[in-house]
Structure 1
Amino acid sequence: MGIEIEDKFDVPTDYAIPDLSGLAQVAGPRSHQLVALYYDTPDLRLAARGVTLRRRRGGDDAGWHLKLPKAKGVRQEITCPLTRSTKIVPPELAELVRAYSRGAELQVVAELDTRRSVTLLHEGGTHLVEVADDRVKGTVHRDGRVLRWREVEAELLAENRRDLLAKVGKRLRKAGATPAGSASKLARLLEPTPPAKADTEPGTAGETVLAYLSSQVDALLTQDPRVRRAEEDAVHQMRVASRRLRSALKAFKSVVGGTEGVQDELRWLGTVLGEARDLEVIRARFDKELAGLAPELVTGPIQTRLGTDLYEREQQAYERIKDALSGDRYYTLLDALDALVATPELGKAAAKPAQEQLTAVASAGWDRVTRAYETAQGIEDPERREIAMHDVRKAAKRARYTAEALEPTLGKDMVRLARLAENVQEILGAHRDGVVAQETLAKEAEGARQAGEDTFTYGLLIGIERNIAERAQADFPRVWAETVKAVKKVL
């Protein structure tokens, strides 16, 4: 797996690669003949999202390649060895595009025959930038249409030499190259239709809200393959995207309506992702606390119980995630999100100016936090009040997400409001996490006690977690008072 960073250029058939000496040492050019088969669903669902799946022969990197978009000019590339079959996509790659294929068959949709001339820029044996001059013949399998063209790609091979990539691009443009009109060769050949988006008036609340919803749908889809590979922080990021979508649909119901069913399914998805994420967080938490104790204070097989055992439970949770992400319920949710962005049920507020309409939504979001706080403070029973304070935290998180969604339109005030809401969320979260950690430790300690193990260290950790929770609880009144005062200046 690697990250592909490249600049692509369209060039005329008589284009001459300029002299690149002086930028670095130059090797080549070397010539290759590349033949690639491209796979997609019959309606080109992968290509529409900028995803490329191919089987390529020839050159230095023959094999199966899956390219997933990360940002403009940046893609994640995952490779598998070349297989004999041209009909069956390797299961591990087919799995990674399920969020796009959604169960539809993957088949050959195009073939590219490329005569490539490669020039390498390097220093002291370190490869820095590769310039590929490609003469391409593309064939569309559906109708046999053939297209020929020439293009040049400059690919970064050393992450710390983006400056060199920029200099190479400058020389290529000076010699007559122009930035490519298509993101990939396949897009140029197939011209896939991008996912549909609703047409809204510029400057309206509808435009702002739908742009945000679309960005979070994209974020969720981007994290899907990373979650399937159990990459670092992927479950967290996908869970955040689902929460932000659900929060936005609640907050902006006057702009986009009829989303109750989608909200329920986003809640389900968040729950599916939550188990593994919570285990991941608490395992790292206990690992850090144990590492901070003197060796003589760590007794019994506690590191196994709080490390290996929790890790095994986390991996089991990952398997349940993969099962859920490969099922019809998940595909139906993704289809519903696509429909939401393309054909939303717009309310009257959607046509109103964004500044006027959405400032009121942000204000209402914070009012919800204060009402939840006042309700909690009116409860005398400590246990019931603590549960109610969890509702304050959830309201603060929703207010934060709402403010973040409005930052591009309403500017600095929303940046500040989001930060203030996050302060409330974080300190209440610190208290909640400490309480949950104590409960987990008590449960694990009971299991250790029944097994005849020394439970001394569990008691130490419970004391540490109790101190964390009590400190957060003691600090909250000050944080709340400061936050309320600051919010009044924003809203």
Structure 2
Amino acid sequence: MTISETMEIESKFEVDTDTPIPAADAFAPLLADDPVVHELSATYYDTADLSLTRHKVTLRRRTGGDDSGWHLKLPSEAGRVELQLPLDHGDDVPAEFVAAVAGLVRRRPLAPVARVDNRRHVVLLRDPEGTAVVEFCDDHVSTQSFVTGNANAEWREWEVELVDPSRPGARGHLDTVATACSSAGATTSSSSSKLARALGALPSPDDPGASAVRDALREDLGKVLDHDPAARRVTMVGVHQMRVAVRGLRSTISSFAEELESETEDTEIDLADLLEELKVLAAVLGKVRDIQVVDQRLEELAAEYPEDVVSPLTRKRLSDELASEERRAGARVAEALGSERYLDLLDRLHLLVEVAGTGSGSGPRSGAPAQSSKKRRREAQDMVLRGVDRQFAKFTKARTRTERDLDSLELTLAQREELTHVVRKRAKALRRNVGALRESDGLTVAPLRTACQRLHTVLGDVQDSVTARMWLRRIARRAESAGEPTFGFGVLFEHERGFSERALAGFESDAATVTAAYRELSESRRAARRRKTKSKKKGSGT
């Protein structure tokens, strides 16, 4: 069954029950149609722990109006992607929608969590040419929550949505209507959706702050799941962000493996196997991401040359070949994320979060006396700092070996790129740990964070260049076999080669900056300990 897809970009406003809607001329230059009234009723579905809601996903079955059906709304950069299927499934959630959120649901059942009834007054607003551009909705809402004591609620709100977000000037029209709403006495809604308001505040995770490791793992796993639905749809941002999150989670597990080993002894969790599974997943995501980056990179690079240098035939060959490769890589991503193997991995990761912090050295055990928030923050900071120390030791080892080889050997560009790629991976892992540190207690964190980001960006650009040249060689051979000219491929290849040479020229300086920044952080830690010791002595009167 074909799923219809639209981009939802809207603004929501809270209003009193007796607030009059803006007069028609308040929307000028937009022209208002006569209002139409719809009686809408929607049942929302979620897991028992509200996993969809926690990750800003809504799944509903709605009747009434001109878009009755099953609706699945997924977060995106621009707004929310809305997928829709007809009501042919009765009360059973369509299998297509279950598959789209399988990472969030796993093997758990979906059940009704709330009902939202809405008497909606719709005013369609048109531009001076008569094209519908904005839908203004005056909603009179009543809700029933099935998970918070069957609580009922009623309110009124205004919802302003773009009819076609891709239309030129669409955002400006939305701003015009939003201004009219504010002038009429409305205030920006404090809830992201009707469902969120119906459910109210969601329960916090168990024992937040009880273990720095558990909190870090929970946050990292949450990021993976946040981007799971978009990655399943093989969007460029979704795949990239999920790969970043998977690598971040893998880095956290590696950094705190010492603490986690004892806590997983009596479970089915094998940390080494878990890390390997995450590595495989990141690689699958990386294939399609690399192709997407190369496609965009080479398209922009080719545009810098005239057509007598990089011919239209060469550009088309590049575009067609990379598009075909992206489809194949995307199919592998969809297959991987739709597999039982991936669901098993998620089950083990959730179990790891549950057991983290239950052993010595990771925070207070369950049932231990509650600690002060200040002490918890200090323990969490110390835990992260130990992770930073471990990752810096790995970074230093890789940097020392690489600089030794660069100095002592006559290396090709490819060999230098391979050596520095190892340093990039270590710098990336260090950056993730540093990113969890706060500028508190006099710690000097910002220089190390900035230095890691700089080195990672430079060497990341080098790696993108390596990948681009690999594809240029591969596609050029295919073009040559087809009897096509390959001069343009050579021009692009040499451009990328020169880019990499220039980027690597500053490697040692950028790497040294990371080391200097780490020493600055270390000195600030020692100074903080001296201040603490001095304060204790003063407090004891000695």
Whether these two folds match at TM > 0.5 is yes
Alignment of structure 1 residues 18-97 onto 2, 5 Å: 18-21=19-22, 24=26, 31-40=37-46, 46=52, 51-68=57-74, 76-97=80-101
8 Å contact kept, 1:289–1:461 = yes
- Match of 2:257, SS state, is coil
- Report if aligned partners of 1:2, 1:78 keep a CA contact under 8 Å in 2: yes
Residue 161, structure 1, aligned to residue 167, structure 2? no
- State the alpha-carbon separation in 2 of the partners of residues 454 and 178 from structure 1: 59
Which segment is superposed worse, 417-426 or 31-40? 31-40
Go from structure 1 to structure 2 and tell me whether the alpha carbon gap of 1:279 and 1:124 turns closer, same or farther (over 3 Å shift): closer
Q: CA deviation at 1:30?
A: 5.7
Conserved 8 A contact 2:290-2:464: no
> In 2, Cα distance between the equivalents of 1:169 and 1:332?
53
1:22-55 deviation line (CA, Å, top 9, x unaligned): 8945998864322334444578654565533222
Partner of 1:413: 444
Decide whether the 8 Å contact of 2:444 with 2:520 is kept in 1: no
Structure 2 CA distance for aligned equivalents of residues 411 and 60 of structure 1: 59
Q: Retained in 1: the 8 A contact 2:69–2:86?
A: yes
Amino acid at match of 2:231: V
TM-score where L is the length of structure 2: 0.73
Q: Distance in 1 between matches of 2:241 and 2:125?
A: 36
Q: Residue 65 of structure 1 aligns to a residue in which SS?
A: strand
Worse overlay, 341-350 or 92-101 = 341-350
Letter in 2 for 1:396: A
What residue number does 1:118 align with?
A: 121
Report the alpha carbon displacement of residue 199 of structure 1 after superposing the two structures with TM.
Answer: 4.4
- 1 CA distance for matches of 2:466 and 2:116? 61
Name 2:240's counterpart in structure 1: 236
| Corresponding residue of 1:130 | 137
Q: What TM-score do the two structures reach when normalised by structure 1?
A: 0.80
> Cα gap change, 1:34/1:429 in structure 2, threshold over 3 Å: closer, same or farther?
closer
Letter in 1 for 2:425: K
- From 277, 283, 291, the equivalent of 1:271 is 283
- SS, match of residue 353 in structure 1: helix
What is the deviation of 1:241?
0.6
1:277–1:394 distance in 2 versus 1, CA, 3 Å: same
Q: Partners in 1 of 2:76 and 2:471 — Cα distance?
A: 37
Instruction: Quote the residue 1:296 is aligned against.
Output: 308
Change in CA separation of 1:55 and 1:169 when aligned onto 2, cut-off 3 Å: farther
In structure 2, the CA distance between the partners of 1:348 and 1:4, relative to structure 1 (3 Å rule), is farther
Pick the aligned partner of 2:7 from 2, 6, 10: 2
The match for 2:387 is 361
1:465 matched to 2:521 = no
Q: Aligned-pair distance for 1:456?
A: 1.7
Partner Cα distance (1:232, 1:268) in 2: 19
Note if contact 2:55-2:226 (Cα within 8 Å) is conserved in structure 1.
Answer: no
Can you give the 5+ residue segments of structure 1 that lack an aligned partner in the other structure? Answer: none
Q: CA 1:111–1:348 in 2, change beyond 3 Å: closer, same or farther? A: closer
SS at match of 1:33: strand
Name which of structure 1's ranges 467-476 and 159-168 shifts more when overlaid on structure 2: 159-168
Pairing of 1:425-464 with structure 2 (within 5 A): 425-464=456-495
| 1:459 partner letter | G
Larger mean CA deviation between 232-241 and 404-413 belongs to 404-413
Match of 2:454 in 1: 423
The residue type equivalent to 1:374 in the other structure is T
Deviations 1:236-275 (A, max 9, x none): 1110011111112222334544443332221121011011
What displacement does 1:328 show?
0.9
Distance 1:329 1:345, change over 3 A: farther
Is 1:339 the equivalent of 2:339?
Answer: no
8 Å contact kept, 2:234–2:334: no
Deviation at 1:20, TM superposition (A): 5.0
Alignment of 1:218 onto 2:225: no
**Residues in 2 aligned to 1:374 and 1:275: alpha-carbon distance in whole angstroms:** 30
CA contact (8 A) 2:17 2:155 kept: no
Tell me the CA shift for residue 155 of structure 1. Answer: 2.8
Moved more, 160-169 or 252-261: 160-169
Q: Tell me, what secondary structure is at the counterpart of 2:217?
A: helix
- Percent pairwise identity: 28
Counterpart amino acid of residue 431 in structure 2: R
Aligned partner letter, 1:291: A
> Is it true that 1:372 corresponds to 2:375 in the alignment?
no
Q: Indicate if the aligned counterparts of 2:140 and 2:156 stay in contact, CA closer than 8 A.
A: yes
Residue in 1 aligned with 2:536? Answer: none
Does structure 2 conserve the Cα–Cα contact (< 8 Å) formed by 1:243 and 1:270? yes
Give the aligned partner of residue 324 of structure 2: 312
Helix, strand or coil at the partner of 2:484: coil
For residue 90 of structure 1, report the CA deviation from its aligned partner: 3.9
* Aligned counterpart in structure 1 of residue 253 of structure 2, from 249, 253, 266: 249
CA distance in 1, matches of 2:294, 2:33: 51
CA distance in 2, matches of 1:300, 1:67: 40
Amino acid at match of 2:175: R
Aligned partner letter, 1:130: C
Deviating more after overlay: 308-317 vs 460-469: 460-469
Secondary structure at 1:84's aligned position in 2?
A: helix
Q: Is the deviation greater in 341-350 or in 314-323?
A: 341-350
Aligned in 2, Cα 1:450/1:51: closer, same or farther, shift over 3 Å?
Answer: closer
The answer on whether the counterparts of 1:34 and 1:58 sit within 8 Å (CA) in structure 2 is yes
Preserved CA contact (<8 Å) 1:55 1:82:
no
What SS does the corresponding residue of 1:452 show, helix, strand or coil?
coil
- Code of the aligned partner of 1:100: L
The verdict on how the C-alpha distance between 1:389 and 1:294 changes in structure 2, with shifts beyond 3 A counting, is same
What is the rounded CA distance, in whole Å, between the counterparts of 2:475 and 2:178 in structure 1? Answer: 55
SS of 1:17 mapped into structure 2: coil
2:18 matched residue in structure 1:
17
CA contact (8 A) 1:424 1:479 kept: yes
What is the CA distance between 1:6 and its match in structure 2? 5.7
Q: Is the 8 A contact 2:462 2:500 kept in 1?
A: yes
SS, match of residue 152 in structure 1: strand
Cα distance change on mapping 1:150 and 1:294 into 2, 3 Å? same
Matched, 1:395 2:432: no
How many Å apart are 1:150 and its aligned residue?
Answer: 1.5
Tell whether the 8 Å contact from 2:120 to 2:139 is kept in structure 1 after alignment: yes
In 2, distance between residues paired with 1:388 and 1:109? 54
Assess, with a 3 A threshold, how the Cα gap between structure 1 residues 124 and 245 changes in structure 2: closer, same or farther: same
For the 8 Å contact 2:384–2:433, the answer to whether it is kept is no
State whether residues 68 and 76 of structure 1, in contact with CA within 8 Å, keep that contact through their aligned partners in structure 2: yes
In structure 2, relative to structure 1, the CA distance for the partners of 1:226 and 1:16 (3 Å cut) is same
Tell me by how many angstroms 1:480 deviates. 3.3
Number of equivalenced pairs: 470
Question: Structure 1 residues 76-85 or 366-375, which shifts more?
Answer: 76-85
